Amino acid sequence: REVFRTVLSTRGIELLEASNARQGLEMLREHHPRVVVLDLEAQQADDEMLRDEYDHESASQQASLVILGTARRYDAALPKDRVVPKPYHYGPVIRTIERLL
């Protein structure tokens, strides 16, 4: 997380961080970001109902959703380059975020 913060902020990208998935969803609703990164290993991110809310909110706000981790339900729903299985390398994830901005 710290690597993402450092690299993206040096590139002029504003980064909002949540301590858990529920807080992240609240921030998504309040700040309307262009890209949302959901780490499936984050606290509460394994809650299927919460993931459904992320799907709905990001779609209704036209925010791009990038998933970190393995989730079969996203494999078919999102473009292949937006589901990043763990362990991952930072470079491809950062390039994906930059491309979606």
| pLDDT digit string, tens, across residues 24-66 | 999 999 999 999 988 877 777 666 788 788 888 988 989 988 8
Find out if CATH 3.40.50.2300 is the number for domain 18-100.
yes
Average of per-residue pLDDT values in the chain: 82
Q: Is the pTM of this model over 0.85?
A: no
Delimit the domains of the chain by residue range. 18-100
User: Longest Cα pair distance anywhere in the chain, in angstroms?
Assistant: 35
Of the pLDDT bands very low, low, confident and very high (cuts 50, 70, 90), residue 2 is confident
Task: Check: CB of residue 58 under 8 Å from CB of residue 91.
Answer: no
The confidence score (pLDDT) of residue 70 equals: 66
DSSP state, 86? S
